[in-house]
Amino acid sequence: MEQLRNKKGFICDMDGVIYHGNKILPGVTKFVNWLYSENKNFVFLTNSSQLTPKEYQQKLANMGIEVDESRFYTSGLATAAFIKSQNPNASAYVIGAGGLLNALYDAGITTNDRNPDYVVVGETDSYNYSKIVKAVTLVNNGAKLIGTNTDTTGPMEFGLVPACRSLISPIEIASGKKAYFVGKPNPLIMRTALRMLNVHSEEAAIVGDRMDSDIIAGIETGLDTCLVLTGVTSKEMLKNFPYGPRVIANNVGDIADGNEV
């Protein structure tokens, strides 16, 4: 744990690490206070594309956690940056929430439900059969299929709910086309997070609750890794993976205290 605590930069997941839905998790206030008191560089990196950085800032503020808007980066922003780098004049049919739509708009990507260059899927509360049919039709007509992240589920106060990979799967199956996913563990979003920290990978650690996105992203990017048990992964589930985190903590407060499982 001490090696991890000595890192200059921290990339922190949010769902299952900082909160479940609108419920703050144990140890978070202690952890954030520790980051500030130790002058750590840190960024909250979420695979969710539902909210904007400003909205995430306000969400944490409502939980009593004050963090500057500049410390948030989302898969929605990463998806918009990727599409802009591929085709600056692109248009897209979007199944997603406001955070994704705003990110695409800010990147100059227009919405289009007739002949878009891309079909983009992220988390949303307004998911229905007609949108699936429209997306499949557009993909079959040549639109490229993009997913904001590969998470199949996400934690809420009442349990797990479907996330991007679950929502995009019917479109993949019906069209026969595989989506490209931009969020963790894609190196694109990890490199952006490291640039925001302004540290090298060996000077940084990632803290997350998912083995298949957070921990594997850290391993493949050369970061130190800490799995917290407040999200979707239990200690018993680790035997299902051919890789493991270097540190396991019950919650992020254990990082501040120097405790590990």
Q: What is the DSSP letter of 8?
A: S
CA dihedral (52, 57, 61, 65) positive or negative: positive
Close Cβ partners of 237 (under 8 Å, ≥ 6 residues apart): 211
Distances (CA, A) of 118 to 38, 50, 82, 160: 43, 19, 12, 29
Residues marked active site are found at: 13, 15
CA dihedral (6, 67, 199, 146) positive or negative: positive
- Tell me how far apart the alpha carbons of residues 185 and 212 are, in angstroms, rounded to a whole number: 8
Q: What type of residue sits at position 15?
A: D
Nearest alpha-carbon partner for 112 in 81, 148, 83, 152:
83
